[in-house]
Chain A
Amino acid sequence: MESERRQRLYRAEAVIIKRRDFGEADRLVTCFTREHGKLTLLAKGVRKITSRKAGHVELFTHARLLVAKGRTWDIITQAECIQPFLPLREDLQRTGYAYYAAELLDLLTQEQDPNPELFELFLATLERLGRAEEPRLPMRYFELHAMGLAGFQPELFVCLNCQEPIRPAQNYFHVGRGGVLCEACGPAANGARPISLPALKVLRYMQTHPYAELEALRLRPAVHAELEEVLFQYLTYTLERSPKSVQFLHLVRERVNHGMMPAGPAGGPNGESSPV
């Protein structure tokens, strides 16, 4: 009896990536877990303001969960926050990046398909997005490596057509073939786009080096823009859809860049209702 009850419970280390309201006061929570991959779990009563669990199953929270097997949905019975990633909640632009990373992860994974490496990468990415001066760098690193871990690692060193090593020249990127074409093969291939030397260099460096070594890189705005474009084209082609949260990201970024909104957190201690 006791062992039977125990079998109906399992533990999971999770990051909350999506959720939606369900029933009166419940939420369906999409978690990416280290042990079981992506899971959709029922969090009961978490929309009540007095819920003890609510704060522990907030979006982008790293938490330890105790889950009970249920008939339709498995149910979160206990939740304990390990890391709330506060900077992602306090700066709109970082919030936007976190949404985008979470959506990508969701699009790249199937339920109950464990991928501990991808779990680690995602956790690290949330931390980096909160800390990095330039969140675009950890974002690009996540796109490239998450695609790789999901089985879509782009070829960046050998021409996908003639198999010759790529030389420092005008090379091309082909989203359909999943990698680079050399200066000879590129122009003839339908759908190949030119890729600049600096952008290709950064991509290759990102693919072969740990993030820590990348952190010191200072990229020119044009290179940032090109990397963003190439990787976005590659992943929307591969996923066969375009992540919706990218709109929000652009909106917030535009507003910050054009000075309509000051970047970063505001507000502080102050009586009953505090200025935002």
Chain B
Amino acid sequence: MELAKPVARLIEEFARLPGIGPKTASRLTYYLLRAPAEQVLALSDAIRQLRERIVYCQVCYNISEEPVCPICANPQRDHSQICVVEEPLDVMAIERTGEYHGVYHVLHGVLAPIEGVGPEQLKIGELVQRVRQGEVREVLLATNPNLEGEATAMYIARLLAPLGVRVTRLAHGLPVGGDLEYADEVTLRQAILRRAEM
């Protein structure tokens, strides 16, 4: 038996989302088929609004409802310090610490040579432009501590080197609550090399 077109289409759309396989896609679709109309319409409206109301901040490329995001528009933030992250979610993670008072720059990905993602696909040129124009004192590279994140940070650091700005990298080390004997060699090595005074 063939599926009704709208059902098949929604399953297909769900299955394109990250982390959702064909089974989950059908389950979600059949759930929505039986759900109250208000709930389904609220969901479709939320998706539409996401598309229509969310833009990228002209300065930092974080997601925003305004052309310039609240962080970039805030005069209390230190605009001479830029924290470079891979994704908007990373901005939220750093904001939650309450320890950072500078502004951000969202790359929207990392260099992934095998997937063909190069610097042009990321907001790297825009970052260099920003550093060139403004009174930027420090660029803190906060890409993920894995090989792709590391390579991206190295690449950006090399690009910025001639501009004379201070370039820093999030410290690497042991996770809180971890156990030394389970630590991998690279992490341990970094933790020793970048040890801090007590």
Q: Which residues of A contact B (CB under 8 A)?
A: 18, 21-24, 49-50, 52, 54-56, 58-60, 72, 81, 84, 86, 89, 92, 95-96, 99-100, 102-103, 106, 244-245, 247-249, 251-252, 255, 260-262, 266-276
Query: Smallest Cβ distance from A147 to chain B, in angstroms?
Result: 19
Cβ-based interface call for B47 (8 A): no
Q: Residue on A with the closest CB to B119?
A: A251
Report B-chain residues with C-beta under 8 Å of the C-beta of A49.
Answer: 145, 175
Cβ-defined contact, A274 with B194, below 8 A: yes
Cβ-defined contact, B19 with A96, below 8 A: no
How far does the alpha carbon of A58 sit from the alpha carbon of B18 in the complex, in Å?
A: 21
Report B-chain residues with C-beta under 8 Å of the C-beta of A276.
Answer: 141, 153-154, 157, 167-169
Can you list 28 residue pairs at the A/B interface with Cβ under 8 Å? A49-B145, A50-B177, A52-B178, A54-B184, A55-B186, A58-B147, A59-B146, A89-B147, A92-B158, A96-B113, A100-B113, A244-B116, A247-B116, A251-B119, A260-B158, A260-B159, A260-B162, A261-B159, A262-B158, A269-B194, A271-B196, A271-B197, A272-B171, A273-B171, A274-B168, A275-B167, A275-B168, A276-B168
8 smallest A-B Cβ distances: which pairs? A55-B184, A261-B158, A248-B113, A245-B113, A276-B157, A244-B116, A23-B19, A273-B168
Report B-chain residues with C-beta under 8 Å of the C-beta of A260.
Answer: 158-159, 162
Report B-chain residues with C-beta under 8 Å of the C-beta of A244.
Answer: 113-116
Q: Residue on A with the closest CB to B168?
A: A273
Cβ-defined contact, A86 with B186, below 8 A: yes
Known: A58-B146, A275-B166. A248 touches B118 (CB 8 A): yes
Q: Please provide the chain B residues from 139 to 198 with a CB less than 8 Å away from any CB of chain A in the complex.
A: 140-141, 145-148, 150-151, 153-155, 157-159, 161-162, 166-171, 175-179, 182-187, 189, 193-197
Q: Residue on B with the closest CB to A85?
A: B186
Report A-chain residues with C-beta under 8 Å of the C-beta of B155.
Answer: 92, 252, 261
Query: Smallest Cβ distance from A109 to chain B, in angstroms?
Result: 14
How far does the alpha carbon of A274 sit from the alpha carbon of B170 in the complex, in Å?
A: 7
Cβ-based interface call for B107 (8 A): no
Report B-chain residues with C-beta under 8 Å of the C-beta of A92.
Answer: 151, 154-155, 158
Cβ-based interface call for B106 (8 A): no
How far does the alpha carbon of A255 sit from the alpha carbon of B155 in the complex, in Å?
A: 10
Cβ-based interface call for B127 (8 A): no
How far does the alpha carbon of A54 sit from the alpha carbon of B19 in the complex, in Å?
A: 19
Query: Smallest Cβ distance from A60 to chain B, in angstroms?
Result: 7
Cβ-defined contact, A272 with B161, below 8 A: no
Q: Residue on A with the closest CB to B111?
A: A248
Determine which residue in A60, A100, A273 has the highest number of CB atoms from chain B within 10 A of its CB, and name it: A273
How far does the alpha carbon of A43 sit from the alpha carbon of B66 in the complex, in Å?
A: 39
Cβ-defined contact, A255 with B158, below 8 A: yes
Cβ-defined contact, B140 with A273, below 8 A: yes
